[in-house]
Structure 1
């Protein structure tokens, strides 16, 4: 979704405090408020309307005035083409939620902080509702809202300028740089069903010599939500007399977030008249705990039964004594009482119905640590050459845990809580950037970059992956739900690349700006790529102009995508199934069309117009993106005995896997659409109202595929997994001491594969009222989703009834399914 904030785009007429994208103000009358942007250009900063590509500028107040605690959600509320949803049962995606810009994958959007590339998260999204499957994007939620001065969203391909990942666009988070101002903020809110969230945040700027140090600290916690209904099978077990079955047996909701600490610093100082030292750093920690699917004590494979519930799975703890354990048949859900009594009385025979009679629901989560450090020098020579040299290190770790589960092969000796291991991501970036005016109208920029990415899999505790002795009898041989990483899977995988680029900007006339960029990048694993970008901006009058860009781009496969193995548990055709991901160059993968991964390649085209209609400023932007050789996970394949033997030869124990998949460059897509943004001001009712409308339409079509690797269901997910249409309308009315805000948001239809249906569109209403108690203190009350929209029921829009899995709404709802959230906020500025 690209918003052609052409020459007058992104000029920032401030949007509502609760959030709307800052929109264009044109060079006329007193309503002109020019926003200066640095993203999308390597030359001197320009007003957003002078840039050749669309840039949305979002002010800090747009984020702070929302009552939430997650920057990903806050960005979704103000940028219609940005989608992120809750991840209730999604393995590691619960820890770092995948976000989509313009209907493309999370790692198709490059994230910058103060104009410098930020590291990606360690989490690979194994379960991503199709569009995000297998992606490894950055953790946007790691950036606290109070640390932000503004956010720039470049809705254009920018690989020629910034390198890999910038296919859908670029999001640049600008940190505050005040050397004296500060603020303290306290937020508390809760859903109408009782779950709470709270945040305490502090920001302060300090003068350090000839420079500044700006610090932000934020602490927040969020209680887990639950919107489940009781599963019919669990209700049947309770009715049959089973003990220890929870109601609900399975929880659907947002995860619990404990101890979410974010510490950020932004700094800079003059070393000499012409040289400045600058940088930023962060250290974050949090613990995220979510849920998994319920394990039924009559039919869960590898734990309770080996034949779908015909008989109980009985372990013979002394298999060589010549005495067999009895066969225990099930009459519906009731074990044969005589045979089960024999098992219970024989210390050499074992059933998990003895240890955990009511079944179990694992809790899965992780301790997430994120840290980074950027140091740089920049200055200007006597000859007018601007230069900057930076070094950046960023790291993200997800140390997983899974509790209330078993390694069934250990029988009665199994622990119930496990450490299955960790994912780690480390990025090292070295940059040298230069720019200089060649004349009064031409600016040249050039530079070089070295990057090294390393992805590591850390082995878990032995009990999380070993065969405890009962594996040959049909018991699963690892932690049920999220198998631990064995030493044979563990390891570190890295990749280095170098690049050089050049940019040229020409102010051909007062009305015309022309820009060009070229970048060559060489990777040590798959070779090199060269990408270009051409753009222009022409102002026909002071109130009407057009702009356009054409560019090529790419996204390199990450070391994690090229090397990681994993086992996830999914519902496939109504059955809880262990699904493995194996390396793409494994012999088992090669037999199905796998092989070494290559880069995704894109062609981007944009065309936009901006104009004023009386007091209303309008931008209209069209975009078209072709992505070839898209990287994603393949279809699921059934493991054969030969596959098991092959994988065992690679050190991969696939005995717990019934299906497998792998990464492959398997299909092409075309994504096109347009954005419309309009804003105006009205003086009335004793004050002034800022009105803003932002509309986005995005359509994705799979244009080429191998159906053996990408089936019809996956195509439906990629094309329809997020709404085609989104818009919001915001009114922000300011009186002397009172501010009133209302926002209406529309989310179009979307497809949910697990619920099996197309879910209806929804309209949400947000309200907020603020009171300036003094010049320093502001008190705010607000409510998100006032009308308590939770989306269409799975009984109505889906093919999976609510009581089948306990889920009454779509888990992939683009706005969540938790309902109304009411909050209060106090802010003290000093």
Structure 2
């Protein structure tokens, strides 16, 4: 293991050096920018910080082809990973993203330094690493609204509270009181699909004589893509003469996004007392429509077929008149049933099988109000209150509730998930002297309430129809609706008290300490600390280090959710349930009341200024114990299945396996981040960023964790990611070139450990050129993945029709070409 780690460290350094020799990134003097996270002392720069912080300007997001902020962030921050999520239930609607190899709800997201509410979506299918995670919806933020983004790559729960195990991302909104801009963007892939149209505008307005209101709007449309081949079983059906089977029967690609509207407002006004009253908020909505798995018209259990104890399949034919017994249709095949009035086969509705389409209508809004200033005694204050709301109304169509037979609708509304959060904060700061040494002290109080609601779906989506006793599946097939017993409201609240200090020991040495206590209504209290130091050795070298403990509280949704998904297991399509850990059946398998995750982390880094280069090199180590995630698959007995049916869990009669949330494993994550910037000339800027991250499962419960999950956690993301860009500014034009490197990784295809894929590393090239026709009008053309590179082909493509590994961190759409026109007023 030691040799493996040494080789990996050498690889990331070699990769970074090789990239810098070709070209490099422009991060616009990122290490000189002022930061607002990681410290509560005003005026600190990234190089002054004791923890590593990336600063990405708003222009770096706007100057890209994609319209989803998740993808834009992935392109410029190597330790940030997100993939396409083509068929993954609700994760298609709000895609889970990973910072430093940890799940999305281990990263705290702030907007203007205030906690951003999490999304209502729980990622039941998250590629192993993000299974069961409930993170925020970053894609609801329009790129044009951003002044800069700060990525704190350090544990910060002692400073900011729950979720800040992997780090903190702070989105700083534009605050100009004048000026405006508008842009139109069109993008398409080299295959001619996946078209994106984006219109965005930003305007700064004065608010009285001493304030501003900055407003941003974005409207986006995205077509779906297909990188699919025909499934083997569908091809066999066509060869046997079934002309109703679609080609391809199942589509793998990015989902369709319609009416993607994003609105943000940021405002503040200075009062006569010198205090500042501020407010900001957002509204966003979109409709996401994606694919599901193909239902074979000969073999799909519970709809077209039934299975005996030996695993043999036979046609499932319904007797529509059971008054004379249900023996009339036994032994019939589908063809005979089609000719009978009493007997029914679902081949009458879908003779070529069916592939459900699944999606959701998302609504997101928030508002933050606050008052900040400084009292006469020099104590600074910031008092704020916020409210956040995220709702997803699910839909599924081109499917059936099989127990309703010929009376089934083919479109359903399975229900809704709603997440609401309320925060109240008081933050105080004071600058003083300890002896003759400057001391900065901050302290504060926070109250937060989280509420998760599952709303009932339409009756047909969960109704137990008359054919249930004949072996047909209950609920909308693929995503059963939420019935009366499953729907409900689950909430909890917590309070927190913190203190955060920094002491200037000398001109060269600064020390920091933070302590936070929180108490939660559902599981009790937790205390965490952080120590930090920054030491300037000389004009060339400075050293920095942190050590901290942290935690992540289980969400009310994770503690109480019930869901049924259709997944692949051992090469077969089966229904899998997720039930609360406190359900008696889960408790028989080791389930218990969820407790918070706990972490210990430390970083050690160097800041080097040498020969025009500004370089930061940081090592990090994170140990997370009692990690919260979904357990491995647990098999159900007939008695357990019957109990779940009695509990009102829709579709439980057809469940073969289930999962629940658990604290039963520990991990160790370590890595190195390297960032360098260099100005070749006054008009040419150069920089690079590289990341090596490795995760190891160091302890687990074999009853709830299997080798597939361990493999996904340890190897599901590339160990090495890097990018490099060179940007040149001419009198009336600008050019950009960025090289991206994605290391090798392992995929359990379709989350099935019997379908392993070892995927090799890959390079991609992005280019952009802009010409200024006037001081106001610019035309920009560019390409992401210009050379149209794809990940390695999927050796199991015939199983479900995916041409490429579906968890590819670089995506699998190939090249994206775009044109953009920008006008500044």
Q: Does 1:740 align with 2:735?
A: yes
1:521-575 deviation digits (Å, cap 9, x = unpaired): 0001000000000001011112210000000000000000000000011111110
Q: Does 1:395 align with 2:389?
A: yes
CA distance in 2, matches of 1:713, 1:723: 17
* Residue in structure 2 matched with residue 535 of structure 1 by the alignment: 532
* Residue in structure 2 matched with residue 11 of structure 1 by the alignment: none
Q: Does 1:462 align with 2:462?
A: no
1:777-816 deviation digits (Å, cap 9, x = unpaired): 1111001101111200112xxxx2x122111100000010
**Which is worse superposed, 193-202 or 309-318?**
309-318
Distance 1:355 1:43, change over 3 A: same
- Residue 18 of structure 1 and its aligned partner are, at CA, apart by 11
Aligned residue among 445, 448, 451 for 1:448: 445
- Aligned with 1:235: secondary structure? helix
CA distance in 1, matches of 2:109, 2:693: 21
CA distance in 2, matches of 1:454, 1:790: 42
Q: Does 1:562 align with 2:559?
A: yes
Q: How does 1:26-41 map to 2 (within 5 A)?
A: 34-41=32-39
* Residue in structure 1 matched with residue 136 of structure 2 by the alignment: 138
CA distance in 1, matches of 2:128, 2:54: 28
Aligned residue among 165, 168, 187 for 1:167: 165
* Residue in structure 2 matched with residue 52 of structure 1 by the alignment: 50
CA distance in 2, matches of 1:743, 1:21: 11
- Aligned with 1:246: secondary structure? coil
- Residue 19 of structure 1 and its aligned partner are, at CA, apart by 6.4
* Residue in structure 1 matched with residue 15 of structure 2 by the alignment: none
Q: Is the 8 A contact 2:25 2:677 kept in 1?
A: no
1:60-82 deviation digits (Å, cap 9, x = unpaired): 11100001100010000000000
- Aligned with 1:588: secondary structure? helix
Q: Is the 8 A contact 2:317 2:332 kept in 1?
A: no
* Residue in structure 2 matched with residue 157 of structure 1 by the alignment: 155
- Residue 739 of structure 1 and its aligned partner are, at CA, apart by 1.2
Q: Is the 8 A contact 1:543 1:611 kept in 2?
A: yes
Q: Is the 8 A contact 2:675 2:688 kept in 1?
A: yes
- Residue 766 of structure 1 and its aligned partner are, at CA, apart by 0.7
CA distance in 2, matches of 1:309, 1:501: 62
- Residue 511 of structure 1 and its aligned partner are, at CA, apart by 1.2
- Aligned with 1:234: secondary structure? helix
1:114-161 deviation digits (Å, cap 9, x = unpaired): 000000000000001111010000011110000000000000000000
Aligned residue among 604, 609, 633 for 2:606: 609
CA distance in 2, matches of 1:777, 1:67: 18
* Residue in structure 2 matched with residue 409 of structure 1 by the alignment: 403
Distance 1:103 1:589, change over 3 A: same
Aligned residue among 713, 724, 729 for 1:729: 724
- Residue 657 of structure 1 and its aligned partner are, at CA, apart by 1.2
Aligned residue among 659, 666, 669 for 2:667: 669
Q: Does 1:696 align with 2:699?
A: no
- Residue 510 of structure 1 and its aligned partner are, at CA, apart by 1.4
- Aligned with 2:626: secondary structure? strand
Distance 1:505 1:354, change over 3 A: same
- Residue 24 of structure 1 and its aligned partner are, at CA, apart by 5.6
* Residue in structure 1 matched with residue 793 of structure 2 by the alignment: 793
For structure 1, which runs of at least 5 residues remain unmatched after alignment?
Answer: 4-15, 26-33
Aligned residue among 508, 529, 543 for 2:505: 508
CA distance in 2, matches of 1:650, 1:103: 37
- Residue 346 of structure 1 and its aligned partner are, at CA, apart by 2.4
CA distance in 1, matches of 2:645, 2:330: 31
- Residue 676 of structure 1 and its aligned partner are, at CA, apart by 1.0
1:711-759 deviation digits (Å, cap 9, x = unpaired): 1111000001111001111111111112111111110111111242211
- Residue 21 of structure 1 and its aligned partner are, at CA, apart by 4.7
* Residue in structure 1 matched with residue 320 of structure 2 by the alignment: 317
How many residues in Structure 1 have an aligned counterpart in Structure 2?
A: 792
CA distance in 2, matches of 1:634, 1:457: 22
- Residue 22 of structure 1 and its aligned partner are, at CA, apart by 5.4
CA distance in 2, matches of 1:451, 1:681: 45
**Which is worse superposed, 163-172 or 499-508?**
499-508
- Residue 443 of structure 1 and its aligned partner are, at CA, apart by 0.9
- Aligned with 2:704: secondary structure? coil
Q: Is the 8 A contact 2:242 2:352 kept in 1?
A: yes
- Aligned with 1:302: secondary structure? coil
CA distance in 1, matches of 2:384, 2:731: 45
CA distance in 2, matches of 1:267, 1:484: 41
- Residue 509 of structure 1 and its aligned partner are, at CA, apart by 1.4
* Residue in structure 2 matched with residue 780 of structure 1 by the alignment: 780
- Aligned with 1:715: secondary structure? helix
- Aligned with 2:627: secondary structure? strand
CA distance in 2, matches of 1:326, 1:185: 64
* Residue in structure 2 matched with residue 581 of structure 1 by the alignment: 578
- Aligned with 1:652: secondary structure? coil
1:196-218 deviation digits (Å, cap 9, x = unpaired): 10100010010011211000110
CA distance in 2, matches of 1:296, 1:647: 27
Q: How does 1:263-302 map to 2 (within 5 A)?
A: 263-302=263-302
- Aligned with 2:655: secondary structure? coil
Q: How does 1:468-483 map to 2 (within 5 A)?
A: 468-483=465-480
Q: How does 1:188-267 map to 2 (within 5 A)?
A: 188-195=186-193, 196-209=195-208, 210-267=210-267
Q: Is the 8 A contact 1:24 1:49 kept in 2?
A: no
CA distance in 1, matches of 2:659, 2:232: 31
Q: How does 1:76-155 map to 2 (within 5 A)?
A: 76-155=74-153
CA distance in 2, matches of 1:386, 1:704: 45
* Residue in structure 2 matched with residue 548 of structure 1 by the alignment: 545
- Aligned with 1:475: secondary structure? coil
- Aligned with 2:424: secondary structure? strand
Q: Is the 8 A contact 1:106 1:135 kept in 2?
A: yes
* Residue in structure 1 matched with residue 679 of structure 2 by the alignment: 681
- Residue 604 of structure 1 and its aligned partner are, at CA, apart by 0.8
- Aligned with 2:709: secondary structure? helix
CA distance in 1, matches of 2:101, 2:820: 33
Q: How does 1:318-397 map to 2 (within 5 A)?
A: 318-322=321-325, 324-328=327-331, 340-341=335-336, 343-397=337-391
- Aligned with 2:577: secondary structure? strand
Q: Is the 8 A contact 1:312 1:327 kept in 2?
A: no
- Residue 666 of structure 1 and its aligned partner are, at CA, apart by 1.0
Runs of 4+ in 1 over 3 A off after TM superposition: 16-25, 326-330, 648-651
* Residue in structure 1 matched with residue 6 of structure 2 by the alignment: none
- Aligned with 1:237: secondary structure? helix
CA distance in 2, matches of 1:779, 1:458: 47
Q: Is the 8 A contact 2:30 2:55 kept in 1?
A: no
- Residue 192 of structure 1 and its aligned partner are, at CA, apart by 1.2
1:617-660 deviation digits (Å, cap 9, x = unpaired): 21110000000000011111111122123334433342121111
Q: Is the 8 A contact 2:634 2:704 kept in 1?
A: no
Q: What is the CA RMSD across the aligned residues, in angstroms?
A: 1.7
- Aligned with 1:655: secondary structure? helix
CA distance in 2, matches of 1:611, 1:275: 39
Q: Is the 8 A contact 1:17 1:741 kept in 2?
A: no
Q: Is the 8 A contact 2:25 2:688 kept in 1?
A: no
Distance 1:110 1:377, change over 3 A: same
Q: Is the 8 A contact 2:23 2:686 kept in 1?
A: no
CA distance in 1, matches of 2:514, 2:273: 31
Q: Is the 8 A contact 1:584 1:664 kept in 2?
A: yes
CA distance in 2, matches of 1:600, 1:733: 46
- Aligned with 2:628: secondary structure? strand
- Residue 238 of structure 1 and its aligned partner are, at CA, apart by 1.6
- Aligned with 1:359: secondary structure? coil
1:162-203 deviation digits (Å, cap 9, x = unpaired): 000000000000000001011101110100111210100010
- Residue 688 of structure 1 and its aligned partner are, at CA, apart by 2.7
- Aligned with 2:322: secondary structure? coil
* Residue in structure 1 matched with residue 747 of structure 2 by the alignment: 752
For structure 2, which runs of at least 5 residues remain unmatched after alignment?
Answer: 1-8, 10-21, 750-754
